[in-house]
């Protein structure tokens, strides 16, 4: 484990949580276009994803945003 590993892990966990949350939000908003199902540490996705919104949420989570 290198010196940067300890500080990078929390950012990775925040990004993963942000992806899960945003995909679930998008699916709830338009279930006819997107279905999302968590499978442990994985996620099954079927449909259209608003990639701009997903990237914005991930970047915001890494920058300390909501």
What is the per-residue pLDDT across 36-54, written as a single tens digit (0 to 9) for each?
999 888 999 999 999 999 9
Summarize pLDDT for 16-30 with one digit per residue, the tens. 999 999 999 999 999
pLDDT, residue 28, reads: 97
- Expressed as residue numbers, the domain containing 44 is 5-62
Global confidence as pTM:
0.78
pLDDT, residue 2, reads: 46
Evaluate whether 36 touches 12 at the Cβ level (below 8 Å): no
Structural domain count, the chain: 1
**Token couple for 7:** 């500080």
- For residues 5-21, give the mean pLDDT: 79
């Amino acid at each position: 484990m290198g010196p940067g590993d300890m500080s990078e892990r929390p950012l990775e966990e925040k990004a993963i949580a942000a992806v899960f949350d945003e995909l679930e939000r998008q699916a709830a908003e338009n279930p006819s276009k997107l279905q999302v199902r968590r499978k442990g540490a994985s996620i099954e996705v079927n449909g259209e994803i608003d990639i701009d919104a997903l990237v914005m949420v991930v970047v915001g989570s890494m920058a300390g945003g909501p």
